[in-house]
Structures are given as structure tokens and as C-alpha cells.
A and B are shown apart, each in its own frame.
Chain A
Amino acid sequence: MADKILMKGNEALAEAAIMAGCRHYFGYPITPQTEVAAYMAKRMPKIGGVFLQAESEIAAINMVIGAAAAGKRAMTSSSSPGISLKSEGISYMAGCDLPALIVNVQRGGPGLGGIQPSQSDYFQATCGGGHGDFHLLVLAPSSVQEMADLVAKGFDLAEKYRMPCMLLADGTMGQMMEPVSLEEAKVEAHDKSWALTGTKNERRPNIINSLALQPNELEQWNEERFKRYEIVKENEQMAESYLMDDAEYCVVAFGIAARVSQNAVDAARAKGIKVGMIRPITLWPFPEKVLKAAAEKCKAFLSVELNMGQMIKDVKLAIDCKKPVDLCYRTGGMIPSPEEVLSAIEKMQKEGK
């Protein structure tokens, strides 16, 4: 076990990326994720890595495309409006089957919105995040420790399935300070024979491209990519269950909403309500299996989110609308209090009887 140190979420994920072997970071400042770039600017030159502040988010994501195409572990980070700017590049990466880590420390939207924490980019992240038929791997940390742990996991999954991976955090996760223990991640060696590393006249050139000259060819690529997505859905769902063994009611929440909700679940238990919580860690693939199982024994569900109700749709789909699903939310940069979530749990219990 490594020494514990005190870190901001943004710093922790940056250091974790370095420890996971990332030596190519391209970014552009935006609140509340600027510490990622600031940390990389300090650290990368000391370890022979590349830190480059691009002239825009669009430039940064295209630099990530270049580094990833060369087979390097590349990363960029931004916050909501910046991620929208990157979305063209993200779509190109999906079309090129390029792995990389894209961090979104979400703030309130739409538009310029605000700088306070939010989870309102859930749709954008889980439904693709750009034009065309594709998905991103989406990981949702709920502590500074997990901000770090999911970085190595994200790189690993991205390279295993040749998909861009998004770490979907929010302003509180990025800004809060907590003790963390950073350990040298085992960097799995994935096949990168597809990378553009120069043929040295020893092989045929690799081509990385998202343009298909014939529509039937593009159709074929998309079909094959979605077969791979099915494997991801089968193998990579991650969720944490809290007090679910005897639960009659189930709260579903991720990230900061899950931390608030856990307090509310504890308070509800103290009042004798048999409630538990499922915390999705992968938002795509959505942890359908554990939710389907919960639908067999729980009377009702409550989705707690920092948006107008986005994940709730995935919850309903996962349980085939077998049980009622309530929503507890705040938006615009506001965070629900444990008391608000507790009231929603009590309401769910009354209606679920």
C-alpha cells in the first residue's frame, strides 16, 4: 500500500494518468478542471512527457487523435462546453477505433451555463457524444481515490476494445480534496499492431481513417463495431451495491449524487425503511444486470441526479419498466441535500406500498 497523500480530484486523476503510462496530455483550461492541465504542466516536463496547451479544445482533441494513432497513451480533459467542442474529434476517434482517455469534469449547462458541479452531460456521454453510430466507454468516479483508480481502468478498457473512454466526473469530484493512495498501475500490454509507427519497409502501411468510400462498407464497419459493443456490454458492467441484500427500495445514483444518497439511505435505514443503493460505475455499458436483478425483489426505484432526469431513462430501460421509478434531482449547479433525498425515499416508500 502506497503512502497516503492529500489531493484534489483533478490532481489525483492527472497523477494517476502519469502512473498508468500516459506521457501525452493535450488540454485547454476551463473551470472546474484547470488543475488537471496545471498539474500536467508541472509534472510532464520532469518525466520526459508531453504537456501541450493547445489553442483550443478542438486542437487538443485532434492532437490526442494523432498521439493515439501513433499508439501512445494519450489524454485530454475539459469541462462541459469544452467537451462539446471536442465532440467532432471524439466521433472521429470512434470511427477510427482509437483508444484514449477524455476527462469531463462537468459543470452546469446548457450553453455557457455555469461553473458549479453538474451531471447534465449524461446523455452526451452515454449516447455517444458526437455524430454517428457509436458509444464511448463511460466511467463515473465518486471519490478522489476513484478519480485515480478509474484512470488506469479507463486506459486499459480503451485499449482492450479500441474505443475512446470518458471519465465522467463533476466539479465537486474535481475540486474536493481527499486522502488518496496512488499505486503504480499494472499497464496491460494490448496489441497495437494497428498503430502508425512507420513501416520500416517491413510491413504494409497501416491506415487509420473514418471515411468509407462506399456506403455498404461503412455499414459493415458500423455492424462490426456494434458487435464489439455487445461484448463490452456483456463483460464490463461495473456497479457498487450498498445495503441491497434485504432492500425493498432501491436508490440509483452515481458520482457526487451517490455520496449524498448514501447519507440519505443511512438516515432512511435508521427510520426502518429497507432501502439500498446501486451506484453505477460504468455508465456505458450501463449496469443493467444488477438492476434487472434488483427489479425482481424491489418495490420501487429512485434515480438521484444533478440534472433534469437523464439516467432515469436507462434505469427504466434496464428494468423493462417493471417497477415505478421516481426522480430526485437538482440542476444548474445545485446539489440535492441528504434531507431532500431522504424525503424522496420516504415518498417512494409511501407510494410503493
Chain B
Amino acid sequence: MEAKRVTLFAGHYGSGKTNIAVNFALHLAGQGKQVTLADMDIVNPYYRAKDSTADMEKAGVKMIASPYANSNVDVPALPQEMYAVTEDKSRYAVLDVGGDDRGALALGRYAPAIKEENNYHMIYVFNASRPLSRTAEAALEIMGEIETAGGIPFTAIVNNTNLGRDTTWETVTASLQEAEKLSQISGLPLLFTSVNESVLPITERENEQYFPLKLQKTIW
């Protein structure tokens, strides 16, 4: 797929937005693009894009995150540097938006500029293993809430169905039908299905339908 200048990942919290955003930023950087990854999460206290700062720096990706993220300062603040996402049009930007409508609220501040430039993909991350968004209908409802809060309509969907360390190829393939259904009822294209690289069969490595997630943060 042709990357837009701004790619936003939003969705139900826990759907895997951060993981995709981090890997997508690496993917763009791998194509020789100048990339900025913006941690726009104002909800999660920990387990966030900023955790991957070292990996991003190694790959030449610029990270913008709240100086308070991962600290003890429990405030939903974003740095002024975040404006670079819309102001500096020489770089590609990948935005990791916070979960649900609450998390997407902060997006509203940047929405007018993003829409005016009109070179973006607003992507809904679907994960059929998450209890409150297992079906296409439930996901569509959440999409509506996020659009209202964030001020940017979705333009595409990615399927990131996974069960963490228990993810198998069957977990992924079993979700394809529901993801297609979400694409149908929302009228938006399904860009790809993201899969942990270790789960993706060798025979599917060249299949553009699948986006391999190479970087995985592990916890004990």
C-alpha cells in the first residue's frame, strides 16, 4: 500500500495499536523514509510506544512522547513538540492514538490541520480477541465513538487479531471473516492483517495481505 504522510492508528484499547504503530514506523523507515512516531496515548500509565524509544532511535525514527510518560506524573499531557506532526510536512508521521473515545480525545487538537492537509490514513485497529469488540457490529460502534471524540473519520481498517503469546496462525485466519465483515458494514478498505512474524507461515511471507510484526515487547 502507498503510505500517506500521516498514518493514525486508533481503536479499542488493547487492540494492539501501539505494537502496530511501532512496527509500521520501522517499516516506513526501512523504505528510507524520514519518520516520526508520536505517542499520543493520554490514558495508559505504562506499556506504551515510548517503551520502544531505544529501538526507534536505532532505526532512525524520531520519537515524540510526553516527558511524563512512564514517570510518576499521572497527567494526560502531550508535549508542544507534538505540533511537529502537522507542521513538519517533510517527514512521515505515525500516530499512536490512545484507546477508545477517551484516548482519541487528544487527537481533536490536531484534527483540523491533519484534515486540511488531507494526506492521511485514519486506521481502525480491529482485534477480534478483545472481549468488548469481538464482532464487527461492536467494533463499528466503537469506531463511531472514536470519530466523534477525535474529529477525524476513519479511512481504513487493519485486522490485528491476536492472543498475545498464545497467538497461532489459526487465531489469525479465524478472524479474517469478521474483519471482512467490518470492512463491508463500514464501507472502508481492509488494508492488511498484522501478524507476529514468528506466527506467519513462510508461505505467506510474500503475501501483501499480511503485515509482519517484527518487534515484539516481551514481559516476564
Contact = CB atoms under 8 A, between A and B. Distances in A.
B129 interface: yes
Given A32-B46, A176-B219, A11 B129 contact: no
Interface stretch (A112-120, A123-131, A271-279, A295-303): A112-120
A171 B45 contact: yes
A172 B72 contact: no
Contacts of A15: 131
Nearest to A114: B72
Interface string B128-151: 011110100000000000000000
A179 B165 contact: yes
B47 A4 contact: no
A66 B219 CA distance: 40
B219 A115 contact: no
A175 B163 CA distance: 15
Interface string A91-132: 000000000000000001000011110000000000000000
A6 B14 contact: yes
A45 to B, nearest CB: 14
Interface of B: 14, 44-47, 72, 74, 127, 129-132, 134, 162-166, 219-220
Contacts of A141: none
Contacts of B130: 5-7
Contacts of B129: 4-6, 179
B220 A11 contact: no
22 contacts: A4-B166, A5-B163, A6-B129, A6-B130, A6-B164, A7-B14, A8-B14, A32-B45, A32-B46, A42-B132, A113-B72, A115-B45, A115-B72, A115-B74, A116-B45, A177-B164, A179-B163, A256-B220, A260-B220, A262-B220, A263-B220, A333-B72
B98 to A, nearest CB: 13
Interface in A242-295: 256, 259-260, 262-263
B42 to A, nearest CB: 12
A178 interface: yes
Interface in A39-68: 42
Contacts of B131: 5, 7, 11, 15
A338 interface: yes
Nearest to A262: B220
A58 B46 CA distance: 27
B39 to A, nearest CB: 16
B166 A172 contact: no
Contact of B74 (A8, A31, A260): A31
Contacts of B166: 4, 179
Contacts of B127: 6
Q: Which of A6, A15, A175 has the most CB of B within 10 A?
A: A6
B101 to A, nearest CB: 12
A333 B46 CA distance: 12
A178 B167 CA distance: 10
B162 A6 contact: yes
A263 B220 CA distance: 8
A178 B74 CA distance: 24
Contacts of B132: 42
A179 B45 contact: no
Contacts of A7: 14, 130-131
Contacts of A32: 45-46
Contacts of B72: 108, 113-116, 333
Contact of B219 (A31, A172, A333): A172
A116 B74 CA distance: 10
A6 B172 CA distance: 13
Contact of B134 (A5, A113, A260): A5
A262 B220 CA distance: 9
A262 B219 CA distance: 13
A145 to B, nearest CB: 11
B53 to A, nearest CB: 17
Given A5-B134, A178-B165, 13 more contacts: A4-B166, A7-B14, A114-B72, A115-B46, A115-B74, A116-B72, A172-B219, A175-B47, A178-B164, A179-B129, A179-B163, A179-B165, A259-B220
A248 B67 CA distance: 46
Nearest to B131: A5
Contacts of A31: 45, 74
A226 to B, nearest CB: 38
Interface string A175-190: 1111100000000000
